[in-house]
Structure 1
Amino acid sequence: MFLAPFVLVVLVAAQPGASGQGDAPSAPQSAAPAAAMPAPPLVASPDACAAESDYLAGFDALVQGEDARAVESLERVLEACPQHPYAPELARLARARLNPGAKLAQETLARPPQAEGTSQGARASLTILQTMHGITQGILLCTIAGCDDSRAYVAVSLLGGGAGTAASLLLTRSGLTPGQAAAINSGTVWGFGYGLASIGSFDLDGDNAIASVMVGALGFTGLGLLIAEFAQPTAGQVSLANSGGLWAGVVAGMLMATNNNGDERVFFGIEQGVVAAGIVTFALISRDLDISHGRVLLIDAGGILGGLLGASVLFLVDAEQDADVFLVGTSVGVLAGLGTATFLTRDYDARDDAPTVTVAPTAMGRHGGLGLTMLGQF
């Protein structure tokens, strides 16, 4: 009785199918972890990592702001050499700069200077000065014509003033910028100045002298119209050109006054040439500058103070008895004052309308996580 169960247990354990069935399920269990284990990453060969030309192209594109081309080049580098020490971070930077939020922040802090708009004040200033121009032209014309009656002078003056007013208002109905008005008015003023200087440089008298003033004013006004129409300068650029011509003439006049040759024709001729050179030179320089009318006025004030300081120093040391030394010292003071004022006002026109801090969403991290980019002026 006791031997039968023992024999049955031994027979069951000795069955070949039992051993196979018990071991069969264990095989997949032991094989499953081996199949789930990932293969070790393949290390790129030295030949594959030799894609430095793509890396250099991507780096150059990133420096030049061509972010899309930089991403393409750097992605090719990462495909060839995943272990490249610098390409992953540069690619992440290029992708972040392509993000709309990052571009918005960059453009907010680097906005181009705004174009000068039209102004009713510009039309008013043009109308006032051209009305006076017309009145002056009428008086000069009546003088050449030999008007004997004062009523003729009044009538011609009213006619000239009315013509100047009507032309200023009718020709600017579409709008006028302050720079354009300044260019036209400056042409008129310089025209009168050159007309008067031509009297001395060409030794004119009588009707020829009057005609010189009339032609100079009309001719330079027309030149101002052409500049206003085609160059479209700003008020600051016109002011800089005017100041360049004015101070060039002042300094040249004081230096030439030290040469007592008494030839007025040579003096006025050189003055006209120097002033013209100053106007043209600073007009060309102003084309590449974003300068305001206010800064030019401060620079002019520096020239005035510098000239007064130079003259005062020479007066205190009793050098005013020598006129040549006094004139040269004053000229040096003017130049020093202009240079000092230019340096001290270098940040006068700095843009201050950009926000102090700009926050924009952007992609952060190597795996494209979201974050915030903060740009600001500190």
Structure 2
Amino acid sequence: MNNEKKFNRRKWLKLGVGGTIGVISLKLLGCKENTDVQECVPTQYDTMGPFHPNKDQADKDFDLTKFNGSVSKPKGQVIYVRGKVSDEKCNPISNALVMIWHANTHGKYTHEYDTNQIEDDPNFQGWGQMKTNEKGEYGFKTIKPGKYIVDADNDDWRTPHIHFKVARRGYHELITQLYFEEEIELNKKDAFASKLSEVEKKQVSIKSQKGIQGIEIDAILLNFDITLKNVKKEEKDKKEFVEYIGVYKVKYKSTPLEKELIQFYGGNREELKITISKENGVLTAEMPIQPKCEIFPKFKDRYIYRAFEADIEFKRNDENQVTGLVFHRHYDFPEIYADKI
């Protein structure tokens, strides 16, 4: 790997650290009803990462091992990921949209910004989505993602992981990552998995099961239950939401690092706009090549943009009107300023 590619890979990762099918028969995915008593603690939030799906595709169903009708299979270990989406009172949540995306078996994403010189797999779908059934169940068939290098100079790797985004009206959007329990050494080195508390590990570090009836004899099964946090009445439709809603045009100052940062968030830095809107009673932020994600109140006029490990601070003029915002990264990146238009 040449230095340019290493730099790009590392830079994109640091910048990022920060069509639905109907309900399928989950018996085909080896699902069974979970009768264990659960505490139903909300699943821990994790960064979205830089390689989330940013372009639509015709084939985006629950089976990531079949892509656009190809008879060829993707390389790698076949895995099934199943689970149940519940609320804090352990009630199943039906019709929740569950999206997953991850690297192929070689450690490369199906994404235009993954410039790492690793083998592509044209038979791997890259991402998929489905809605939970009446019991809150979901299930995907895919392949185990490979590890990939972040910084070769420091032997910095990302452990195999699967990104999840789960959304349902009346609940806070969840973005998290599933880790493989057996990847002990890689999990210890991973920038995110290594920071998990013991409680969080029990939630998102999942044991691979082999020899499960109902799936291929050499396939692996992972059970990953998810709990969403209810949007409380006092959190919905806050008075200040109306003041924040609008489009904000970024002011570009032409520093090299700011250029890279802005291009990552919006592609064309001269036309980068941040859209703040209200959806299902909560506030969201969206940029041209980034998905719409919920932002969470921190204190007056400041919200946490958890998907990208950043804060959005709304600015007011002398008449107490919202006139702009500041995008604060949680690392040593420049702040991004934007005026409300």
TM range (shorter): under 0.3
Please report the TM-score for the alignment, with normalisation by the length of structure 1.
Answer: 0.18
**Structure whose residues are more often strand by fraction:** 2
Of structures 1 and 2, the larger Rg is shown by 1
Bigger relative contact order, structure 1 or 2, given CA contacts below 8 A and separation 6+? 2
